[in-house]
């Protein structure tokens, strides 16, 4: 028998903000009834602030509680603040979710992401229309794309295929995607380890040196062994910034992380 917190039960039995907003400024729809869970959220936005939010869902108690919690968490928040909310925050707000139900918090996170993308004109507000953004579909039983699986692994520090299934439902049907999930897990963990080494080297060796001259550096993104960086402070205006990036930053990272690493300006 799964343990549910009092807060989760309260949000299940008394869900907040249920319904729809007919003149919503943004809508985010994820999941499908055929797969067992679906969630649609509606946002009313004024001057960059979410002034009203409603949801409709088809799912279990945890899905209802997660959606209800999400609406309470984002009401009155700016778009930037709402963007920072992850599935972990939803689960924490509810006092935790059973591992097998973590996918309900991921569904809320995804619905918010889809709604905000549609508001910013980067999508149509319907996840299944936008899935090409998230790469190939890995689990056909539940229509789970590679991008969502990777995002869940990174955000929640997932370490097993079983955890991936708990968080995304991928692998929870016929099982024919399990080998793919294993591969994605290995590759993503490798990328995470690489990025952590880069961060550690920047924190402990590179940043202190740059700061001596009033400079700094920020990681923009890491793609494979390509590290995109931005010099800041005095370094950003220095005429030899490209030289600093290549001759000092790249050389240090190659020495500490990987010989094949390449630093590019982000
Ligand atoms: S394809 Fe993933 S469980 Fe069936």
What digits encode the pLDDT tens for the residues 1-33?
678 999 999 999 999 999 999 999 999 998 876
Ligand 1 geometric centre to CA of 181 (Å): 10
> What pLDDT sits at residue 126?
62
Q: Which two tokens stand for residue 77?
A: 């928040």
| Mutational pocket test of ligand 1: of 146, 167, 176, the residue with most ligand atoms within 8 Å of the beta carbon | 176
**Mean pLDDT over residues 79-100, rounded?**
95
Please confirm, yes or no, whether 141 is among the known catalytic residues: no
> Which strand (E) or helix (H) includes residue 228?
strand 226-233
User: Which residue's alpha carbon is at the smallest distance from atom 2 of ligand 1?
Assistant: 139
pLDDT tens-digit series, residues 206-260 = 999 989 888 889 999 999 899 999 988 877 777 777 788 888 899 999 999 999 9
170 occurs within a structural domain = no
- Alpha carbons 18 and 14: distance in angstroms, whole number: 10
Mutate to test the pocket of ligand 1, among 103, 137, 141 (most ligand atoms within 8 A of CB): 141
pLDDT for 118-176, tens place per residue?
Answer: 898 766 556 554 555 678 899 998 888 899 999 999 999 999 999 999 999 999 999 99
Same domain for 20 and 104, yes or no, is: yes
DSSP-derived 3-state class of residue 169: coil
Domain count, the chain: 2
Q: What is the pTM of this model?
A: 0.76
Domain that holds residue 260: 198-265
Domain end: 104, 131, 158, which one? 131
CATH code, 247: 3.30.300.130
Atom of ligand 1 nearest to the CA of 174: 4
At residue 190, does pLDDT exceed 60?
yes
Q: Measured between alpha carbons, how far is residue 79 from residues 39, 88, 183 in Å?
A: 20, 18, 35
């Amino acid at each position: 028998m799964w343990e549910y917190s009092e807060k989760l039960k309260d949000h299940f039995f008394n869900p907040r903000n249920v319904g729809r907003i007919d003149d919503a400024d943004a809508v985010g729809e994820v999941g499908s009834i055929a797969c067992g869970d679906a969630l649609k959220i509606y946002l009313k936005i004024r001057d960059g602030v979410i002034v009203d939010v409603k949801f409709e869902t088809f799912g279990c108690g945890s899905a209802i509680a997660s959606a209800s919690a999400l609406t309470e968490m984002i009401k009155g928040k700016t778009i930037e603040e709402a963007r920072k909310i992850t599935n972990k925050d939803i689960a924490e707000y509810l006092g935790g979710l059973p591992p097998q139900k973590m996918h309900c918090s991921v569904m809320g996170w995804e619905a918010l992401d889809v709604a905000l993308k549609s508001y910013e004109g980067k999508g149509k507000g319907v996840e299944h229309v936008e899935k090409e953004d998230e790469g190939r579909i890995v689990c056909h039983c539940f229509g789970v794309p590679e991008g969502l699986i990777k995002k869940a692994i990174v955000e929640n520090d997932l370490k097993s295929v079983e955890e991936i299934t708990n968080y995304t439902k991928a692998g929870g049907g016929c099982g024919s995607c399990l080998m793919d999930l294993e591969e994605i897990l290995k590759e993503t963990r490798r990328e995470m380890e690489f990025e952590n080494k880069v961060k550690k080297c920047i924190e402990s060796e590179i940043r202190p040196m740059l700061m001596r001259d009033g400079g700094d550096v920020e990681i923009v993104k890491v793609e494979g062994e390509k590290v995109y960086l931005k010099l800041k402070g005095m370094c950003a205006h220095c005429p030899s910034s490209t030289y600093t990036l290549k001759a000092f930053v790249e050389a240090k990272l190659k020495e500490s992380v990987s010989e094949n690493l390449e630093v590019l300006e982000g």
